[in-house]
Amino acid sequence: MQTHSAACGALAIAAVGSATVAVSRWQRAARREHEMRLTALEATVQHQQVLLREKEAQLRDLREGGSGALVVPAPLYRVVLTGGPCGGKTTALAKLSSRLEELGFLVLKVPETATMLFSGGVPLPHDEASAFVLQKHMLRVQREVEDAFLALAREAGRPAVVIFDRGLMDGRCVPSISPG
Render pLDDT for 85-141 as a digit per residue (tens, 0 to 9): 788 888 888 999 999 999 999 999 998 888 888 889 999 989 999 888 988 898 899
Instruction: Find how far residue 77's CA is from the centre of its chain.
Output: 22
How does DSSP classify residue 160?
E
Domain range holding 53?
A: 1-71
Residue 149 lies in a domain: yes
Residue 179 lies in a domain: no
Residues 65 and 106 in one domain: no
pLDDT of residue 172: 61
Report whether 93 contacts 165 (CB < 8 A).
yes
Residues 86 and 159 in one domain: yes
The last residue of one of the domains, among 53, 71, 89, is 71
Report for 67-71, 75-79, 84-88, 163-167: range of highest mean pLDDT:
75-79
Residues 49 and 88 in one domain: no
Residue 156 lies in a domain: yes
pLDDT of residue 175: 55
Percent of the chain with pLDDT over 70: 78
70 CB neighbour count, 10 Å cutoff: 7
Residues 9 and 67 in one domain: yes
Residues 11 and 50 in one domain: yes
161: Cβ contacts below 8 Å, ≥ 6 apart: 76, 77, 78, 79, 97, 100, 105, 106, 107, 108
Residue 178 lies in a domain: no
Residues 60 and 97 in one domain: no
Residues 67 and 80 in one domain: no
Q: How many domains does the chain have?
A: 2
Residues 95 and 159 in one domain: yes
The last residue of one of the domains, among 48, 71, 94, is 71
Q: What end-to-end distance do the CA atoms of the chain give, in Å? A: 95
Q: Residue 35, class by beta-carbon neighbours within 10 Å (0-12 exposed, 13-18 middle, 19+ buried)?
A: exposed
pLDDT of residue 97: 92
Write out the H or E segment, with its range, that includes residue 20. helix 2-64
Q: Would you say residue 10 has pLDDT above 80?
A: no
Q: Would you say residue 62 has pLDDT above 60?
A: yes
Residues 61 and 82 in one domain: no
How far is Cα 142 from Cα 164, in angstroms, rounded to an integer?
Answer: 10
Residues 80 and 146 in one domain: yes
Residues 18 and 65 in one domain: yes
What mean pLDDT comes out for the span 170-175?
A: 59
134 CB neighbour count, 10 Å cutoff: 19
pLDDT band per the 50, 70, 90 thresholds, residue 180: very low
Q: How many residues does the chain have?
A: 180
How far is Cα 82 from Cα 166, in angstroms, rounded to an integer?
Answer: 5
Residue 136 lies in a domain: yes
pLDDT of residue 67: 55
Residue 135 lies in a domain: yes
Residues 110 and 168 in one domain: yes
